[in-house]
Structure 1
Amino acid sequence: MDHTPQVTVVTVERRIGAPRDLVWEVLTDLHGLPGTLSGVVRVEVLTEGPFQAGTRWIVERRMFGGAAAEELWVTACQAPSRYVVEAETRGARYVAEVTVREAGPGETLVRTAFSAGPPRGRAGALAGLLGGLGRRAVARALERDLADVARAVERRPDGA
């Protein structure tokens, strides 16, 4: 029997009509997330300073008719092109890698790869994690987040 931990990945992309640096600024403005992302109720930033590896925060999101809070932390950051955020909650480890790259004059391509699996150091697979309906729900949530970012960036006076 294979005891290799199962990891499921959901990837979404979106072109945004604004320069990369502006898109990066909106994506990494933790204090502004409740006003940017429609699914975010509240953010509590736990570390001081710029968005970088080691930055931690608690985000409360509307999910499945309720709200859930979880602590997130940045494990890698190469501004303004890539960051990785992780969380461990409810028996799973989540990793989101966000890449931001120029896609033409005044256009940016944002790609989010979201993976879920067992917490570090734990064996076994999480049966059904992000399978079927769960995978589609995660993809829809990521697509909604990127649409919210696009609206926020494109309505700013310093946008494209």
Structure 2
Amino acid sequence: MKFDCKVPVTASKEAVWSVISDIDHAVDTIQAITKVEVLERPTSKDSLVGLKWKETRVMFGSEATETMWVTESVANEYYQTRAESCGAIYTSRMYIEPAAEGEDHECFVGMSFEGECQSFCSKVMMIAMGWMMVGATKKAVMQDLQDIKAAAEKGNGKSTEGHNNSKPDATETSEQDKQD
């Protein structure tokens, strides 16, 4: 399973970075997150690499807790996380990219996600139910990105309050989309 989603944001890259890199307060920003417990802090103040936390969120109608850690990070650009659960390795990248000249927003916030099954059982489950998991995971990521957008724009003096969170300006691609 592999996909990428992004939404335009009318806030600076620094404002977006401030929101996405504040793992301690993600529960206040992202609706689906119900609890965050930081397990390890980075050794450097200038990097997120080494940050490890447990995140509890609502998925498929119930709470699930995953342990994640940052494996790569460049301030105001991206950080990459890894998690291992249920026989699979999950890698995600939260990123910020500048808007093209003339666009009516300052940047995009996005997330690329890849799940790689490691065990026989997880491979069978992916074959049987993968289509449903991909759709639900994309939907959850898009909502997270809309929540991040709202927080960054609010902190930037903008407000998306009252706007429809399923705006058509959001984009998502998957490996299947790229092949078509």
Q: TM-score, normalised by structure 2?
A: 0.75
More displaced, 108-117 or 95-104?
A: 95-104
- Which residue in the other structure is 1:144 paired with? 143
1:91 matched to 2:90? The reply is no
1:24 matched to 2:17? The reply is yes
**2:5 is aligned with what amino acid?**
V
1:40 matched to 2:33? The reply is yes
CA distance in 2, matches of 1:157, 1:107: 11
Q: What count of residue pairs does the alignment treat as equivalent? A: 151
- Which residue in the other structure is 1:112 paired with? 111
Contact conserved, 1:100 with 1:109, CA < 8 A, in 2? yes
CA distance in 1, matches of 2:158, 2:124: 43
CA distance in 2, matches of 1:148, 1:64: 19
1:127 matched to 2:124? The reply is yes
Cα distance, 1:12–1:157 mapped onto 2, change above 3 Å: closer
What's the CA shift for 1:12? Answer: 0.6
What's the CA shift for 1:159? Answer: 5.7
Which consecutive unaligned segments of at least 5 residues does structure 1 have?
1-7
Contact conserved, 1:87 with 1:93, CA < 8 A, in 2? yes
Q: TM-score, normalised by structure 1?
A: 0.84
**2:109 is aligned with what amino acid?**
V
What's the CA shift for 1:146? Answer: 0.2
**1:60 is aligned with what amino acid?**
T
Contact conserved, 1:99 with 1:111, CA < 8 A, in 2? yes
**1:29 is aligned with what amino acid?**
D
Which consecutive unaligned segments of at least 5 residues does structure 2 have?
160-180
1:117-140 Cα deviation digits (max 9, x unpaired): 134xx6897135372111111110
The structure where helix makes up a greater share of residues is 2
3-state SS of paired residue (1:126): helix
1:15-42 Cα deviation digits (max 9, x unpaired): 1110001101100101110010000000
What's the CA shift for 1:48? Answer: 2.8
CA distance in 1, matches of 2:16, 2:158: 9
Contact conserved, 1:22 with 1:159, CA < 8 A, in 2? no
Give the one of 61, 75, 88 matched to 1:79.
75
Identity of matched residues, %: 26
